[in-house]
Amino acid sequence: MRTDYCGFIDAKYLNQTVTLYGWVHRRRDHGGVIFIDLRDREGIVQVVCDPDNGVAFEIAESIRNEFVLEVIGLVRHRPPGTVNPNLVSGEVEVLVQSIEILNSSLTPPFLMDDENLSEAVRLEHRYLDLRRPEMQANLRLRYRVAMAVRTFLDQRGFIDVETPTLTKSTPEGARDYLVPSRVNIGHFFALPQSPQLFKQLLMVAGFDRYYQITKCFRDEDLRADRQPEFTQIDIETSFLNETQIMAMMEEMICQVFKSAVNVDLPCPFPRLTHADAMSLYGSDKPDLRVPLVLTELTDVMKDVEFKVFREAAHWPGGRVAALRVSGGGTLSRKEIDDYTSFVAIYGAKGLAYIKVNVLEKGLEGLQSPILKFLPETAVKVILERTGAKDGDLIFFGADKARVVNEALGALRAKVGHDRGLAEPGWKPLWVIDFPMFERDEEENRWKALHHPFTSPADGHEDLLETDPEKALSKAYDMVLNGSEIGGGSVRIHRTEVQSKVFRALNIGPDEAQEKFGFLLEALQYGAPPHGGIAFGLDRVVAMMAGTESIRDVIAFPKTQRAQCLLTHAPSAVGEKQLRELHIRLRHAQTAKA
């Protein structure tokens, strides 16, 4: 039997005979003595094959990288000058007594410590990529996070309950992944975008506190922080209000960070209303490490000569705002042009600016192509409101508020990090008081900002029918370093309120009954006040690991084209399978039987 993992062999095993199993990380032949770095999930230990042991030495000569070995040997001190302080096993080595090749290996397409690998190669050979120490560490971190969550919730009376993977399609959010039913011809299941409705039903059922670390599925365009299937820490509880839920979840996240990565998050988290977040940061998930803020100028620009500013200031829902970049006066014309191209991604048609060279010289101390279109009084207000100083640069956004917020919000974060203005560490916060609805311009109707089961804020129930644009909700998002890591709300637990929300969303009684009839019926049987939250496990672990992509913390992820390069999924299926499901393909190539 194995004595211990390779990475745990240290001075406590001196002069002991140990049995080890692992993979050959590297083999070195030094003047007749063969050194093997034997690797397992816990690390590496150096194995020495002496030519005096003829049988073992002969076997060692045939060994290559990634062979699987059983090694039995004596633990001894490394010779002076060869100690490796970077390894737990760095003070010792194992002198081989016997060695057995349990399996050979082809020459791998890359070395396990290669740092310059293309992601395509890594994903195509994911079973090898997962052998690399970095990936081993990431998945072990993921395990620690999940265990810390389970421990916290278990200690507070939460029960792990599984909810269905095959469920009903309710396309109110992202697109569903549909699963055809062979038994019920022409009908489809959907893979769950979240267990939202089922966890509410569990509250109606009286379980009081539920959680689940579960897979969710969304057929949407992918980015580095999104996958078609992702893992959610799903939580629901009864008889707690939003303040109490947030306090408990804040405590959980603080404990998880401390347990998993020994980080003390700054508690309590600050709270920022959605309105203030959009006004100051242009984002409902602001990165508070960046000290830059937006300055409101819409009222100042209504009578200026500059048409771009003036028109935006008069549009319903228009906005003119400024972003002062401390020390930004050193930006070159090319850098400004690059930032102009960057904000164009978010729909901005340009990026006006003013360089503040010498403030006390007034207009003569400023540099900008738009100054001639702005009255001196407006310029003075701009400088006063932004708090501009010598050497600063002021960027401007003027358009619909949505475009200005998205463009300047993204620019704020990018400039802050590019210019070294971002503070180190972790900056969590809660964003609260979200609007109930946002306008869908294409369909000319309101849609739920979070989901249609979110409770309106106290005193805002009547606004659902009289002025839905002003209705706020009992929703809350946990944000960390510019990423939303969790979102939740108090739910609607009374049928009449849920019906008002459906009417505001232009969901008629028949449609509501068809899509959500089982929930509406359940609410009539003594549904308790309840609420919850869901955290993105992949995203949290990726942030802890310091990786840009959540694919680096998922064992077998999909690409940005929603493909698995390892298994070549999705793939065509045979005609026989299609016939069994009563499906005929319209535009795809004919599937091979």
Instruction: Answer with the one of 103, 128, 148 that is the final residue of a domain.
Output: 103
CA atoms within 13 A on the CB side of 312: 23
The answer on whether 536 is annotated among ligand-binding residues is yes
Instruction: Answer with the one of 422, 454, 481 that is the final residue of a domain.
Output: 422
In a domain, 356, yes or no: yes
C-alpha–C-alpha distance, residues 10 and 17, integer Å: 13
What are the φ and ψ backbone dihedral angles of 455, each rounded to 5 degrees? -75, 140
In a domain, 109, yes or no: no
The answer on whether 539 is annotated among ligand-binding residues is yes
pLDDT tens profile 38-74: 999 999 999 999 999 999 999 999 999 999 999 999 9
The answer on whether 119 is annotated among ligand-binding residues is no
pLDDT of residue 266: 94
The answer on whether 284 is annotated among ligand-binding residues is no
pLDDT of residue 590: 47
In a domain, 122, yes or no: no
In a domain, 283, yes or no: no
In a domain, 368, yes or no: yes
Domain extent at residue 15: 6-103
pLDDT of residue 225: 67
- Are residues 144 and 168 located together in one domain of the fold? yes
- Are residues 376 and 335 located together in one domain of the fold? yes
- Are residues 257 and 147 located together in one domain of the fold? yes
The answer on whether 172 is annotated among ligand-binding residues is yes
- Are residues 440 and 528 located together in one domain of the fold? yes
- Calculate the CA 320 to chain-centre distance: 31
The answer on whether 496 is annotated among ligand-binding residues is no
- Are residues 476 and 573 located together in one domain of the fold? no
Q: Contact at 8 Å (CB) between 377 and 362?
A: no
In a domain, 127, yes or no: no
- Are residues 404 and 294 located together in one domain of the fold? yes
The answer on whether 324 is annotated among ligand-binding residues is no
- Are residues 85 and 154 located together in one domain of the fold? no
- Are residues 393 and 434 located together in one domain of the fold? no
Q: How many domains does the chain have?
A: 4
* List of the chain residues with pLDDT < 50: 590-593
- Are residues 295 and 415 located together in one domain of the fold? yes
The answer on whether 39 is annotated among ligand-binding residues is no
CATH number reported for the structural domain that contains residue 460 in this entry: 3.30.930.10
- Are residues 180 and 234 located together in one domain of the fold? yes
- Are residues 316 and 263 located together in one domain of the fold? no
pLDDT of residue 589: 53
In a domain, 128, yes or no: no
Instruction: Answer with the one of 48, 79, 103 that is the final residue of a domain.
Output: 103
Q: What is the DSSP string of 297-342?
A: -GGGGTT-S-HHHHHHHHSTTEEEEEEEETTGGG--HHHHHHHHHH
CATH number reported for the structural domain that contains residue 403 in this entry: 3.30.1360.30
What are the φ and ψ backbone dihedral angles of 269, each rounded to 5 degrees? -75, 140
Query: Count of CB atoms within 10 A of residue 476's CB?
Result: 25
Q: Contact at 8 Å (CB) between 416 and 422?
A: yes
pLDDT of residue 115: 84
- Are residues 417 and 439 located together in one domain of the fold? no
The answer on whether 219 is annotated among ligand-binding residues is yes
CATH number reported for the structural domain that contains residue 64 in this entry: 2.40.50.140
In a domain, 121, yes or no: no
